[in-house]
């Protein structure tokens, strides 16, 4: 099967090589021929792919996962069904897994470990905030690029796999080592603290080069140790570990979720506080590996430079210092309003604002500021040699109720008096000869009344008070065009008008489900689908499924802007080719 599929094309993906075998099936490298980029295709095991319930679940879950966008998380691009089965199209990451690194090097150097785990925690923090639990954090699910940028893969797939109705005898493999007690016990409420535990175990192994279990342990004795046993602290295996760091590990792997770090951000802060002792020779560091990176003044923090220096011989130290001191360094100081925001350079965490005089490599730098409760700020800087740059970044607070409409488009003078809109009794409007309009464009659009714009490009309801009499209302969608309504308002009248620039189609296929195609494009949505939104215009709708064709072919449907919500029903009959 592996060999046969190489060179084959699935939609616009040409399969080029086998990357490996995962729990759900084989992973291939492929070329996206339309976008000319490499992708990874995770092909599902034929046994799983023949389980209809599993596929349903898989599709809905994968859709949630596709929404996870973070520089430290492997992105999911699409889902495809082909003659070879179902596959997930994902970001292709050039590099190794953390598991590869550990088996190659044993314990990793402290500084490097901390840099990796801070990124891991940022990825987890992001996913947890989006309500997604990984459930299978382990070294083999942590990809590292050659610059040590972390990319966490297989988010949420463990859950999907578990829902498979296929009774399997296959062992849990290496995953067992990292399983939290609550997972082993099969408790229903495994939350983000389960991921914290698995991450703690992964950190344990990265720091010591070993898991706390031995070869003579059986599946069941490992399960027993996880639920009831005592895990020896990692400094038992590596005595030079800073006590603070040992504490972080042991807190993360506490059997009681309530005693662990409660969030990834909390653990990140604890790691941030860990002091790495300078004079200690970092055992895992080798000159050719840690060294080449650390000599370069681009290194994220000076502390790392110092560390690597501590680890190498005097000769190298001399060269390193010369190199470091002779290069005209560019420094950057960053503050934010408010401070306390996490700072990322090119996706790597470098600390929290305020940061002063950080040495950076001249050139392009993508800067991200991330603070809870504020909008993430992404910006790019171009830094020239020897420059000392200082920047202050204002952060915008996330509002729970978006006041934007009112702020950006202050209603005309007539409504200024309407400040107390809600509390003012209607009689007043009657006396003043005013009428109230509640206007809304769906899914979004501008609203203009008598030539005055009343609402920006939004789907929020805009309530305006206007003089009674004849009024012209214009609803305008940035893509789908506009619709005009003329109406006569009597004093005191309240009118609610919604203009729909899209309608909904409910699509079914019989007797089996298929994937919905709209205007020749795969939507990754499967039938039956209730209320799929279609914008204004002519659309061709059909359903595909490998080995099947629709009796009806395509169906054409024309959507016009309307003042009521329209729902169309489409039914396709699939027959075997």
Cβ nearer to another protein, comparing 398 with 512: 512
Alpha helices in 185-313 (DSSP H): 192-208, 219-227, 243-252, 264-272, 292-295, 302-311
CB of residue 566 vs another protein: minimum separation in angstroms?
A: 36
With CB under 8 A as the contact rule, the residue among 34, 169, 326, 399 that binds another protein is: 169
Please tell me whether residue 391 binds another protein under the rule CB under 8 A.
no
Per CB under 8 A, contacts with another protein among 339-378 are none
- Whole-angstrom Cα distance, residue 297 to residue 310? 16
Q: Which is nearer to another protein, 189 or 423 (CB)?
A: 189
- The nearer residue to another protein, 84 or 501, going by C-beta atoms, is 84
CA 543 vs CA 89, 436, 529, 568: distances in Å: 20, 45, 11, 16
Considering only residues 7 to 46 of the shown chain, the ones binding another protein according to CB under 8 A are 45-46
Interface stretch with another protein, choices 181-189, 300-308, 335-343, 519-527 (CB under 8 A) = 181-189
Measured CA distances, 271 to 226, 264, 268, 274 (Å): 24, 11, 5, 5
Check residue 184 for interaction with another protein (CB under 8 A). Answer: yes
- Residue closer to another protein by CB (options 48, 88) is 48
Residue choice 21, 37, 47, 396 for contact with another protein (CB under 8 A): 47
- HSE-CB for 300 with a 13 A CA cutoff: 21
Nearer to another protein, 165 or 321 (CB): 165
Element (H, E) at 103: helix 98-105
**Among 17, 52, 147, 378, which residue sits at the site for another protein (rule: CB under 8 A)?**
52
Choose the binding region for another protein from 146-154, 158-166, 239-247, 447-455 (rule: CB under 8 A).
158-166
Strands (DSSP E) along 13-95, which ranges?
13-21, 26-32, 37-43, 76-82, 85-91
Residue whose CB is less far from another protein, 511 or 520: 511
Q: Are the C-beta atoms of 2 and 26 separated by less than 8 Å?
A: yes
- State in angstroms the smallest separation of the CB of 61 from another protein: 15
Task: Give 176 or 505: the residue with its C-beta nearer to another protein.
Answer: 176
Binding part of the chain for another protein, among 218-226, 243-251, 257-265, 304-312 by CB under 8 A, reads 218-226
- In terms of DSSP bridges, do strands 462-467 and 452-458 run parallel, antiparallel, or are they unpaired? unpaired
**For another protein, which residue of 43, 48, 133, 305 counts as binding (CB under 8 A)?**
48
Task: Name which of 221 and 457 has its Cβ closer to another protein.
Answer: 221
Q: Which stretch binds another protein (CB under 8 A): 180-188, 205-213, 373-381, 387-395?
A: 180-188
Structure tokens at 217: 């342990």
Nearest of 392, 395, 396, 394 to residue 335 by alpha carbon: 392
| Chain centre to alpha carbon of residue 407 | 30
CA–CA–CA angle 502, 507, 513 (5° rounding): 145
Give the separation between CA 156 and CA 137, rounded to whole angstroms.
10
Q: Which is nearer to another protein, 185 or 259 (CB)?
A: 185
Segment 221 to 250, residues that bind another protein, using CB under 8 A: 223-224, 227-228
Angle at 18 between CA 521 and CA 120, to 5 degrees: 80
Cβ–Cβ under 8 Å, residues 50 and 162? no
Is 512 near another protein (CB under 8 A)?
A: no
> What span, in angstroms and rounded, lies between the C-alpha atoms of 406 and 411?
7
Asked whether position 4 contacts another protein by CB under 8 A, the answer is no
What's the CA gap between 321 and 498, in Å, rounded?
68
162 is a site residue for another protein (CB under 8 A)? yes
Task: Give whichever of 187 and 321 is closer to another protein, judged by the CB atom.
Answer: 187
Write the CB contacts of 95 (distance below 8 Å, at least 6 apart in sequence). Answer: 143, 144, 145, 146, 151
| Binding range to another protein, per CB under 8 A, among 104-112, 219-227, 324-332, 421-429 | 219-227
Q: Of 510, 528, 507, give the one whose Cα is nearest residue 518.
A: 507
Instruction: Please pick, from the candidates 51, 100, 235, 450, the single residue that binds another protein as defined by CB under 8 A.
Output: 51
Among 37, 56, 67, 185, binds another protein (CB under 8 A): 185
Residue 443's Cβ-side half-sphere holds a number of Cα atoms within 13 Å equal to 10
In the bound complex, what is the minimum distance in angstroms from residue 5's beta carbon to another protein?
A: 13
Cβ(522)–Cβ(506) below 8 Å: no
Written in H, E and C, the secondary structure of 235-253 is HHCCCCCCHHHHHHHHHHC
Q: Is 486 in the site for another protein (CB under 8 A)?
A: no
Of 35 and 168, nearer to another protein (C-beta) is 168
Among 63, 145, 147, 168, binds another protein (CB under 8 A): 168
User: Which listed range, 185-193, 304-312, 382-390, 451-459, lies at the site for another protein (CB under 8 A)?
Assistant: 185-193
Shorter beta-carbon distance to another protein: residue 99 or 184: 184
Specify the stretch interacting with another protein by CB under 8 A; choose among 49-57, 103-111, 342-350, 360-368. 49-57
User: Within 10 Å of residue 214's Cβ, how many Cβ atoms?
Assistant: 9
Contacts by residues 14-22 (CB-CB < 8 Å, ≥ 24 positions apart): 15/41, 22/154
131, 186, 239, 451: which one contacts another protein (CB under 8 A)? 186
Write down the least CB distance from residue 219 to another protein, Å.
7
Q: Shortest gap between Cβ of 165 and another protein (angstroms)?
A: 7
83 near another protein, judged by CB under 8 A: no
189 vs 400 by CB, closer to another protein: 189
Answer whether the bond into residue 443 is a cis peptide, omega within 30°: yes
Query: Which residues fall within 8 angstroms of residue 319, CB to CB, at 6 or more apart?
Result: 295
CA distance 245 to 270: 9
Residue 50 makes contact with another protein by CB under 8 A: yes
Instruction: Determine, following the binding rule CB under 8 A, whether residue 135 of this chain makes contact with another protein.
Output: no
Q: Is residue 292 near another protein by the rule CB under 8 A? A: no
| Part of the chain binding another protein (CB under 8 A), chosen from 169-177, 376-384, 525-533, 538-546 | 169-177
Interface with another protein (CB under 8 A), residue total 28
Residues of this chain that bind another protein (CB under 8 A):
1, 45-48, 50-53, 162, 165-171, 184-188, 219-220, 223-224, 227-228
């Amino acid at each position: 099967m592996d060999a046969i599929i190489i060179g084959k094309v699935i939609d616009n993906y040409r399969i080029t090589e086998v990357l490996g075998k995962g729990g759900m099936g084989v992973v291939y490298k492929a070329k996206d021929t339309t976008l000319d980029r490499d992708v990874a295709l995770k092909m599902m095991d034929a046994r799983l792919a023949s389980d209809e319930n599993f596929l349903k679940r898989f599709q809905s879950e994968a859709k949630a996962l596709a929404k996870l966008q973070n520089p430290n998380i492997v992105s999911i691009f699409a889902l495809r069904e082909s003659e070879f089965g179902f596959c997930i199209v994902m970001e292709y990451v050039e590099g190794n897994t953390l598991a590869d690194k550990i088996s190659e090097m044993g314990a990793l150097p402290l500084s490097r470990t901390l840099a990796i785990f801070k990124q891991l925690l940022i990825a987890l923090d992001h996913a947890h905030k989006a309500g997604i639990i990984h459930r299978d954090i382990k070294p083999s699910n942590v990809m590292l690029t050659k610059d040590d940028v972390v990319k966490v893969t297989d988010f949420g797939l463990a859950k999907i796999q578990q829902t498979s109705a296929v009774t399997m005898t296959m062992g849990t493999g290496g995953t067992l080592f990292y399983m939290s007690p609550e997972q082993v016990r099969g408790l229903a409420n495994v939350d983000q603290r389960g991921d914290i535990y698995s991450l703690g175990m992964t950190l344990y192994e990265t720091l010591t080069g070993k898991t706390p279990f031995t070869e003579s342990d059986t599946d069941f004795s490992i399960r027993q140790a996880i639920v009831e046993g005592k895990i020896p602290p990692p400094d038992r295996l590596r005595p030079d570990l800073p006590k603070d760091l040992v504490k972080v590990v042991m807190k993360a792997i506490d059997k009681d979720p309530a005693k662990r770090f409660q969030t990834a951000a909390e653990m990140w802060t604890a790691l941030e506080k860990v002091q790495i002792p300078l004079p200690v020779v970092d055992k895992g560091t080798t000159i050719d590996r840690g060294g080449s990176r650390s000599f370069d003044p681009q290194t994220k923090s000076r502390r790392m430079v110092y560390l690597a220096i501590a680890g190498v011989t005097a000769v190298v130290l001399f060269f390193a210092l010369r190199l470091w001191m002779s290069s005209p360094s560019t420094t950057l100081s960053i503050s934010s309003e408010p401070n306390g925001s996490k700072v990322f350079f090119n996706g790597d965490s470098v600390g929290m604002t305020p940061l002063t005089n950080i040495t950076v490599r001249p050139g392009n730098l993508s800067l991200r500021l991330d603070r809870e409760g504020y909008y993430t700020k992404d910006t790019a800087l171009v830094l020239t040699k020897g420059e000392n740059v200082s920047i202050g970044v204002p952060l915008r607070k996330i509002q729970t109720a978006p006041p934007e409409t009112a702020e950006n488009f202050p209603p005309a003078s007539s409504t200024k008096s309407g400040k107390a809109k809600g509390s003012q009794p209607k009689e007043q409007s009657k006396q003043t000869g005013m009428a109230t309009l509640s206007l809304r464009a769906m899914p979004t659009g501008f609203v203009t009344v008598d030539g005055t714009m009343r609402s920006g490009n939004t789907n929020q309801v805009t309530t305006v008070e206007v003089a009674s009499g004849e009024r012209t209302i214009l609803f305008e969608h940035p893509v789908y065009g506009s619709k005009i309504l003329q109406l006569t308002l009597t004093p005191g009248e309240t009118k609610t008008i919604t203009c729909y620039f899209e309608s909904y189609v409910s699509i079914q296929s019989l007797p089996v489900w298929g994937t919905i195609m709209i205007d020749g494009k795969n939507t990754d949505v499967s039938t039956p689908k209730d209320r799929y939104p279609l914008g204004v215009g002519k659309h061709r709708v059909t359903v595909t499924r490998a080995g099947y064709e629709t009796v009806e072919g395509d169906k054409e449907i024309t959507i016009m802007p309307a003042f009521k919500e329209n729902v169309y029903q489409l039914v396709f009959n699939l027959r075997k080719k």
